[in-house]
Structure 1
């Protein structure tokens, strides 16, 4: 998990895919943290991405380092409504405090479970990490 976190964090941005009916939807994300032994992301409850994950929590993430390495992550996104988890993410990304607070009924953190992360390179090397 730490390796996946560190790679995603080093990329700065990653792309998160959800399903909306029969249509895939992809958008950039930038939040990732380890909290309480789990890998977390953050979004807003008012956003379509959150509504899509609520209907179908299976997601895929792709992060590319710009140097020929990337990770593709399959996971299930699980809501964590604990104030402490939300505050941890906001403290990890202080710039989010301009848009969210732990008590605003909009900020939402989700941990990833059933994670299968596949690291790849342009040279064809690949390996899988699961947690």
Structure 2
């Protein structure tokens, strides 16, 4: 079993979605991890939101100290629970400038239900963990 706590310390990575026949990548920040769920946020008017509502299969790849590269793969679920939205605003206060409040209907919180973790380092080579 792999410990996912490193995701709470290494928050910036490459987020990959599917747009038709193409994979789209962008730099993204994770917010927090609970169990096998990594939480993120976005806006309802952004391309990433539109892509996620059409195909919820994603990957998030980061570099960390345990292993140089870690990729989490799974499926996205959006949550409307105000507690999650308020937590996101506490973690990223700059969200207030964009969305004004957690109640803004354009503000979306989602999580990756992590199904698989892949790691790679030159010392250990590739590894795969299924959750």
Shorter-chain-normalised TM-score: which range?
0.7 to 0.9
> Is the Cα contact below 8 Å between 1:59 and 1:77 reproduced in 2?
yes
> Is the Cα contact below 8 Å between 1:74 and 1:117 reproduced in 2?
yes
- Distance in 2 (CA, whole Å) between partners of 1:27 and 1:81 is 24
Superposition map of 1:19-98 within 5 A = 19-35=18-34, 38-65=37-64, 69-98=68-97
- Distance in 2 (CA, whole Å) between partners of 1:57 and 1:105 is 20
Q: Deviations over 1:25-83 (max 9, x none)?
A: 10000132135873211111110001000000000111123896010111101111111
Q: 1:35 to 1:97 in 2, by over 3 A?
A: farther
SS at match of 2:74: strand
TM-score, L = length of structure 1: 0.83
Runs of 4+ in 1 over 4 A off after TM superposition: none
> Is the Cα contact below 8 Å between 2:15 and 2:27 reproduced in 1?
yes
TM-score, L = length of structure 2: 0.83
- Structure 2 gap segments, 5+ residues each: none
Q: Deviations over 1:59-109 (max 9, x none)?
A: 011112389601011110111111111111111222222212211111111
- Structure 1 gap segments, 5+ residues each: none
Q: Give the length in aligned residue pairs.
A: 130
The root-mean-square deviation of aligned C-alpha atoms, in Å, is 2.5
- In the alignment, structure 1 residue 120 sits paired with structure 2 residue 120: yes
> Is the Cα contact below 8 Å between 2:8 and 2:33 reproduced in 1?
no
Aligned to 1:110: 110
- Distance in 2 (CA, whole Å) between partners of 1:95 and 1:58 is 28
SS at match of 2:103: coil
